[in-house]
Amino acid sequence: QQQLAESGGGLVQPGGSLRLSCAVSGFSVDDYAIGWFRQAPGKEREGVATISSRGASTKYADSVRGRFTISKDNAKNTVYLQMNSMLPEDTGVYLCAVVRLDGVRLPSPNYDVYYWGQGTQVTVSS
């Protein structure tokens, strides 16, 4: 079984922080690239950030660059998304996934994903 399980979502005020975790089972995160995606109500799912299997390369959507940080702990087989200075437009369901890296663009949720997690809700509101 190859599974990804997100946790850490919740309600946070604008300017606040959340740390999401993606716990992986059935494979090692040091063997595959992992991406975070999000989907706001009524909007298309979009790539947020990726980290390469070796952790040497990260990529971010323009909308989150400088505020979000993707990282991983190979020993814990877990990938993280640290979200700081959060904005209402960060609201949505956040999902992690095993991805194929394009090299230029963030992965497409339609074409570049091998396995999805179930998602965790993030709400940024006063």
Helices then strands, each counted (H, E), the chain: 0, 11
Q: Compute the half-sphere exposure of residue 103: CA atoms within 13 Å on the CB side of its CA.
A: 0
For residues 24 and 31, what is the distance between their CA atoms, to the nearest angstrom?
12
Q: Which segments in the chain show pLDDT lower than 50?
A: none
Q: Compute the half-sphere exposure of residue 115: CA atoms within 13 Å on the CB side of its CA.
A: 18
**pLDDT value for 19:** 98
Residue 90 DSSP SS3: helix
